Every structure is written in C-alpha cells, then in structure tokens.
Amino acid sequence: MDTIRQQKTSALIKRELAEIFLNDGPYVYDCMITVTKTTVTKDLSIARSYLSIFNAEDNEAVIKAVRANTKDIRYRLGQKIRMQVRVIPQLEFFIDDSLDYIENIENLLKQ
C-alpha cells in the first residue's frame, strides 16, 4: 500500500516523464512512447516507470535506447520537478506489455 506522498510523487513523475518523451525526447525515432504506470519506493529514491511503445519494429531496442539515456532523462526531469521534491529519484524503465497480453487474450477468445 502506497502512502499519499508516494502516490503524489509517482503521479508527478509519470506526468513529467510523459511530457519529456512527447516533447523533449530525441532519444528514439519513429515510435511513440507512453508512460503507463510509475511507482516510487517508500524512501522516494527510486522511480520505476512502465513504458508502452507503439509503432516500433523492436521494442527491446527502444527500451535499451531509453535506458542508455536515463541520465539525461533524469536531468530533464530534475529541471521540471526540482521545486516539488527534495531528491530526484533514480529512474528505472520497463516495458509494459499489458496491452499485448490483452490483445493475445482477445485473439484466443475469438478462436
């Protein structure tokens, strides 16, 4: 169970990361990245974000590119939220495959 502070911090980080990927990010070309969920540890030092990747030929290559640019993404995030949090959390990125899972279940049900 997350505390209210964790919930507010994760919502803030999710919103700002989405904006970074939409507007600022020259990291990945020819695809759209959506932040589907962000969780923060109890001490607010690590933020885990789940990304949904659309129109990409290789999702693994996209997530590797995002992870390679984590330092720059964290810096940009820090520029946006430095007045709202004490410490900018370390960022971890994961692929959110829940949409693929749902699509797979729908295909199985249609058969």
In the chain, what are the domain boundaries?
4-110
Both structure tokens of 18: 């989405």
Would you state the pLDDT for residue 94? 94
Q: State whether the Cα torsion 69-75-80-81 is positive or negative.
A: positive
Q: What is the pLDDT of residue 62?
A: 87
User: How does pLDDT run across 14-33, given as a tens digit for each residue?
Assistant: 999 999 988 866 555 578 88
The pLDDT > 90 percentage for the chain reads: 58
pLDDT band at residue 47 using 50, 70 and 90 as cut-offs: very high
Does residue 58 carry a pLDDT above 80? yes
- DSSP secondary structure string for all residues of 41-55: -TTS-EEEEEEEEES
Instruction: Average the pLDDT over each of 8-12, 18-22, 25-29, 97-101 and give the range with the smallest value.
Output: 25-29
4-110 has which fold? GMP Synthetase; Chain A, domain 3 (3.30.300)
pLDDT score, position 25: 60
- Four-residue CA torsion sign, 96, 93, 74, 25: negative
Give the model's pLDDT for residue 72: 92
pLDDT(77) > 90: yes
28-34: long-range contacts (C-beta < 8 A, 24 or more apart)? 28/56, 28/62, 28/65, 28/66, 30/55, 30/56, 31/55, 31/56, 31/62, 33/62, 33/66
